[in-house]
Structure 1
Amino acid sequence: MYSVKDAYRQIVGDFVHNPATFDKWITLWKLKVPAKWKTFLWRALCDILPTTNNLIIRRVEVDPTCPMCDISHEHVMHTHTTCDYSKIVWNISGLPVTNIVATTFPEWLMGAMINLTEEQLAMMVGVLYHLWNARNDAVWRRALPRPPATWRRAAAAKAAYNEAHCPGGSRTPLLAAPLPQGRPRCFFDGGYRPHSGDATYGIVLVHPDGSFKAETNGKLPGCFY
């Protein structure tokens, strides 16, 4: 009696589960979060997200650097925990995950599941999901949202889920995200046209929380270089 399953097992061998990889599936599936967040987390734990490392393994010609920081090679662990962009989002969230030391994403997640409460764990999954969405924005739209915006999206999505599925519970935010304090930040850039000698500039001023404050642009007079 021939079956595709038997042929597959003859080729790749029997699957052997390694408990040291990740052994908290029951806790994960019982989380009170949207189903798509759980599916995303399952894909991340199985390392089947289309990171640049995984695409290169499948012989896809892509730039291996992370689209968010443009410094390190992109893999699941880097995108969600060690990237400079991700670190800023975690710091804004206030979740106690920045001190977890791990070499793999499953190991990091198990450490977080031990240290966090159920509500904090649900919020953490939301942040992971929206970090991946921010990464996709950087890849497909060439526009990386500001870290406070990514945090606000995750918090708003979790609050909306609680509103719809936990009507009898508290409707207050799970975490009060500390807004960055300090002076407004200024971003600027310039351009130059060699054939005409025109030089231009653009300036954007944002509040400490990343929201828009003011902008201006124009030409620079007397540019001869």
Structure 2
Amino acid sequence: MPIEILWGFMSIHRGDFDKWSSMWKMRVPPKWKTFLWRAICDILPTTTNLIIKRVEVDPTCQMCGLAHEDVMHALVTCEYSRLVWNVSQLPITNIGTNSFPSWLTSALTTLTEEQSGLMVAVLYQLWRSRISAIWDGALPHPTGAWRRAAASISSFRQANQRPSHPMPVAAPVNDNHARPRCYIDAGFHQATGKATFGIVLLSPDGSFFAVRNGKLPICFSPLMAEALACMEALS
């Protein structure tokens, strides 16, 4: 019997996607993983989902103007998305399914680790292109969208290359039970759905160690903002 996880009006069946471990271990930016998680769970603000939430919008895809927009259409089957995938030359065009989780499962099974990172970069760039079409009335050329995706994953990999020599080992802390302390907070604006996060890490003796803050993807509730803030801290 499928296990359902409820989140508002959303239900997720365990059998729809079975590569969560592989997805979270991918060497891609954390915000891409968050985006992918939202796409798998079908909580991206596509026109279909907005209409379900009783938001009055034109259901037609703003990238192709040919069909109603859901996650699978926006990221895979839209005419514009197909052009970008063709330019990428990733071997995923023969995956036949109407379910994005099933499509992603097949893609992750087929592609190498490097190709999977490129695939996620393309998916994220397609969503950004969709946002640009809606808010700016401009759609990047498919070749330009592919180049941006390839450049972004290349920059991330260069910035996160594993060191070729062993890192120095830190001196052990005298207190075996001493651990760094991490404080997390999230802000959520109900009217706009905008959310932010702040993370402060203190050393075991209480002194400042590190800090990070930034914006989160569009959220639907304070609980979702808190969950995404925790994911940022863990990543």
TM-score, normalised by the number of residues in structure 1: 0.67
Which whole-Å CA distance do the structure 1 matches of 2:118 and 2:11 have between them? 32
C-alpha deviations, 1:174-207, integer Å up to 9, x for none? Answer: xxxxxxxxxxxxxxxxxxxxxxxxxxxxxxxxxx
Q: Does 1:165 align with 2:169?
A: no
C-alpha deviations, 1:41-84, integer Å up to 9, x for none? Answer: 00000101000000001111110000000010000000011000
| Counterpart residue number, 2:102 | 107
Match of 2:125 among 117, 127, 130: 130
Superposition pairs for residues 61-210 of structure 1, below 5 Å?
61-166=56-161
Structure 2 segments unaligned to the other structure (5+ residues): 1-5, 165-235
Measured after TM superposition, the shift of residue 121 of structure 1 is 0.4
Superposition pairs for residues 9-88 of structure 1, below 5 Å?
18-88=13-83
Which whole-Å CA distance do the structure 1 matches of 2:47 and 2:11 have between them? 27
Give SS of 1:92's match: helix
C-alpha deviations, 1:23-54, integer Å up to 9, x for none? Answer: 11000000000000000000000101000000
Which whole-Å CA distance do the structure 2 matches of 1:57 and 1:145 have between them? 29
Which whole-Å CA distance do the structure 2 matches of 1:167 and 1:149 have between them? 29
Q: 1:17 to 1:87 in 2, by over 3 A?
A: closer
TM-score, normalised by the number of residues in structure 2: 0.64
Give SS of 1:53's match: helix
C-alpha deviations, 1:60-111, integer Å up to 9, x for none? Answer: 1110000000010000000011000000000000100111011200000001
Which whole-Å CA distance do the structure 1 matches of 2:98 and 2:117 have between them? 22
CA contact 2:47–2:70 (8 Å) conserved in 1 = yes
Which whole-Å CA distance do the structure 1 matches of 2:125 and 2:85 have between them? 12
Measured after TM superposition, the shift of residue 19 of structure 1 is 2.9
Q: 1:54 to 1:17 in 2, by over 3 A?
A: closer
* AA matched with 1:90: W
Which has the greater radius of gyration?
1
Q: In percent, how many aligned pairs have the same letter?
A: 55
Which whole-Å CA distance do the structure 1 matches of 2:28 and 2:146 have between them? 16
Q: 1:60 to 1:148 in 2, by over 3 A?
A: same
- Number of residue equivalences: 157
Structure 1 segments unaligned to the other structure (5+ residues): 1-8, 170-225
C-alpha deviations, 1:1-37, integer Å up to 9, x for none? Answer: xxxxxxxx9xx9xx99733111110000000000000
